[in-house]
């Protein structure tokens, strides 16, 4: 028989990877399996924000907002290459929420979350400020500007998994848990890899971080009659060519009570979202509807001088949020906080996770391990250690990203400004590991388009769990926005012809946990 891990985790989204990182850092042996690519489900289809959730104040969810606000600067310090401050402009729309209520909400937002580095709210005269220029002339005179952060969500998950693997966790992608059973107080998880081969993993504790599939996992033999239920909510986004030149985002109020963001994205685009619709069916088949595209276009067009039309859309994406079903009448009102259910069928603990946000994933991991503490032996690192531990590539001051770009251009003078900037924002101090000893652009190997090179592809496959072209152009990067279908096909052909052995991913049944 193989080793017995302290903890097995099913699900390679932000919650599963966050728990793996925290647990292995405390000295526990950890195995994590993900049926597809890391962050291929809900975690890569977010609005790309590390934020408190201003609108949740309307539902009196002060605890969630406070906890999320406390995490903003912690996460920013952990990963300053993939997380950056972002200022949001909130125009006052006469006839919707009154200005005094907006200002009160923003006062709370500034003061309940331990803000230290992010600048506070300020009141705007939209008839004079540059952020008023893209808006419909004469319609919006007063507004507010406040702080949150932008995040590359999929890279956050991948770097969290990379850090967990560097600390000793076994991370297996393209590995589906097909059955979970208990025997003599030990969980036995049968997994199937992409080649169709089966093996059985044994663990003392089990975490179900399956996201939208959390109930399917429980149905695969766990012997648990779960009390909690999941509410699947579809959120869709559209991407259009850049709508304005400044670097601020907008938060627009709708007459239906919802809000929609317009966010500067990948330098040349604007990201617009999101929707909130109850979802039925296979979460893997979620797709934006024509009605959602029309809704998002109409929502931002009410505010902008130049309307956004469906024909302007260059890319869309949709995801399914696995919210805890709290019985709310509408999807928009369902809680975004996380809920745990701890079951002990046969004596071995199984922790299932419902809900959660990217912003609170680190705190969620801490609380999950608190619940599992009586069953785990790891104590190498103190509780809360992840709040002070950087993610790979993030070992520089939050204000030094521009200096990092300049250093790359000095050490690799053949890089274009665009290329150097992209590498610094994606890899931080590990960009030099990607580039190696290259002296010329030719040393980076085959060029696939949009500054993606053979050297980078090999790095992503060897160190960041990438397997195919989709992993690389849509999750490890967003270069799919700039690459043609032919270029992506060429990349996939190269990958098929050049197998690269992943680092710290393979698992041998006899390995020591």
How are the residues of the chain apportioned to helix, strand and coil, as percentages rounded to the nearest 5? Answer: 35, 25, 40
The verdict on residue 250 lying in a domain is yes
Strand segments (E) across 394-495: 447-449, 452-453
The pLDDT tens digits for 39-63 are 999 999 999 999 999 988 888 889 9
pLDDT score for 512: 35
CATH (domain of 85)? 3.30.9.10
How do the pLDDT tens digits run along the chain, 513 residues long?
678 999 999 999 999 999 999 999 999 999 999 999 999 999 999 999 999 999 888 888 899 999 999 999 999 999 999 999 999 999 999 888 899 999 999 999 999 998 999 999 999 999 999 999 999 999 999 999 999 999 999 999 999 999 999 999 999 999 999 999 999 999 999 999 999 999 999 999 999 999 999 999 998 877 777 788 899 999 999 999 999 999 999 999 999 989 999 999 999 999 999 999 999 999 999 999 999 999 999 999 999 999 999 999 999 999 999 999 888 878 777 788 899 999 988 889 999 999 999 999 999 999 999 999 999 987 777 779 999 999 999 999 999 999 999 999 999 999 999 999 999 999 999 999 999 999 999 999 999 999 999 999 999 999 999 999 999 999 999 999 999 999 999 999 999 998 776 654 444 333 334
Cβ count within 10 A of residue 227:
7
Q: Do both 160 and 121 map to the same domain?
A: no
Q: Contact, 195 vs 46, CB < 8 A?
A: no
Q: Contact, 165 vs 14, CB < 8 A?
A: no
The verdict on residue 69 lying in a domain is no
The verdict on residue 190 lying in a domain is yes
The verdict on residue 438 lying in a domain is yes
pLDDT score for 66: 94
Q: Do both 415 and 473 map to the same domain?
A: yes
Query: In a 10 Å sphere around its CB, with 0-12 CB exposed, 13-18 middle and 19+ buried, how is residue 510 labelled?
Result: exposed
Residue whose C-alpha is closest to residue 248's, from 119, 60, 367: 119
pLDDT score for 100: 92
Q: Do both 406 and 474 map to the same domain?
A: yes
pLDDT score for 509: 35
pLDDT score for 1: 63
Number of domains in the chain: 3
The verdict on residue 473 lying in a domain is yes
Q: Contact, 469 vs 488, CB < 8 A?
A: yes
Q: Do both 384 and 423 map to the same domain?
A: no
pLDDT score for 502: 65
pLDDT score for 376: 92
For residue 427, report the phi and psi dihedrals to the nearest 5 degrees. Answer: -115, -10
Tell me which H or E stretch contains 410.
Answer: helix 401-411
pLDDT score for 510: 34
Three-state secondary structure call for residue 165? helix
The pLDDT tens digits for 67-126 are 999 999 999 999 999 999 999 999 999 888 899 999 999 999 999 998 999 999 999 999
Residue whose C-alpha is closest to residue 476's, from 467, 487, 488: 467
- The 8-class DSSP code of residue 502 comes to P
Cα–Cα dist 79/90, whole Å: 27
Which pTM does this prediction carry? Answer: 0.95
Cα–Cα dist 493/481, whole Å: 19
Output the six-digit token pair for 99: 């200005």
Q: Do both 416 and 475 map to the same domain?
A: yes
CATH (domain of 160)? 3.50.50.60
The verdict on residue 409 lying in a domain is yes
Which residue segment(s) compose the domain that 270 sits in? 78-150+232-325
Output the six-digit token pair for 202: 């044994």
Angle at 191 between CA 164 and CA 194, to 5 degrees: 85
């Amino acid at each position: 028989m193989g080793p017995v891990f302290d903890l097995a985790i099913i699900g390679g989204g932000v919650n599963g990877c966050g728990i793996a990182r925290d647990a292995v850092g405390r000295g526990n042996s950890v195995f994590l399996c993900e049926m597809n690519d890391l962050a291929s489900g809900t975690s890569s289809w977010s609005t790309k924000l590390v934020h408190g959730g201003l609108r949740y104040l309307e539902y009196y969810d002060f605890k969630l907002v406070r906890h999320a606000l406390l995490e903003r600067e912690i996460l920013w310090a952990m990963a300053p290459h993939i997380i950056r401050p972002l200022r949001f402009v909130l125009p006052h729309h006469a006839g919707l929420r009154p200005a005094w209520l907006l200002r009160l909400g923003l006062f709370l937002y500034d003061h309940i979350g331990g803000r230290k580095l992010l600048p506070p709210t300020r009141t705007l005269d939209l008839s004079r400020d540059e952020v008023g220029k893209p808006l419909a002339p004469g319609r919006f005179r007063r507004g507010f500007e406040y702080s949150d952060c932008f995040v590359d969500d999929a890279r956050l998950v991948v770097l969290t998994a990379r850090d967990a693997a560097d600390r000793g966790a076994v991370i297996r992608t393209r590995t589906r848990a097909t059955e979970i059973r208990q025997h003599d107080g030990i969980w036995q998880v049968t997994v199937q890899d992409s080649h169709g081969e089966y093996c059985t993993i044994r663990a003392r504790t089990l975490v179900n971080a399956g996201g939208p599939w959390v109930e399917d996992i429980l149905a695969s033999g766990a012997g648990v009659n779960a009390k909690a239920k999941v509410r699947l909510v579809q959120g869709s986004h559209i991407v259009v060519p850049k709508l304005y030149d400044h670097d601020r985002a907008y938060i627009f109020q709708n007459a239906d009570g919802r809000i929609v963001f317009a966010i500067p994205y990948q330098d040349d685009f604007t990201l617009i979202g999101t929707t909130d619709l109850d979802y039925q069916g296979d979460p893997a088949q979620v797709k934006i509807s024509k009605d959602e595209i029309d809704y998002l276009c109409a929502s931002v067009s009410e505010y902008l001088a130049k309307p956004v039309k469906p024909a302007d859309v260059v890319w869309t994406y949709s995801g399914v949020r696995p919210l805890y079903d709290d019985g709310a009448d509408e999807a928009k009102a369902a809680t975004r906080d996380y809920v745990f259910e701890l079951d002990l069928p046969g004596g071995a603990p199984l922790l299932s996770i419902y809900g959660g946000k990217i912003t609170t994933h680190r705190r969620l991991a801490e609380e999950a391990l608190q619940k599992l503490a009586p069953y785990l032996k790891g104590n190498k690192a103190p509780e809360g250690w992840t709040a002070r531990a950087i993610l790979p590539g993030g070992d520089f001051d939050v204000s030094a990203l521009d200096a990092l770009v300049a250093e790359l251009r000095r050490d690799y003078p053949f890089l274009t400004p665009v290329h150097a900037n992209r590498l610094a924002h994606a890899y931080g101090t590990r960009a030099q590991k990607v580039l190696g000893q290259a002296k010329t652009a030719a040393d980076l190997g085959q060029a696939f388009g949009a500054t993606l090179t053979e050297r980078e592809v090999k790095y992503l496959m060897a160190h960041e769990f990438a397997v195919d072209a989709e992993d690389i152009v849509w999750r490890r990067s967003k270069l799919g926005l700039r690459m043609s279908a032919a270029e992506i096909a060429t990349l996939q052909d190269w990958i098929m012809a050049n197998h690269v052995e992943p680092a710290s991913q393979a698992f041998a049944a006899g390995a020591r946990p």
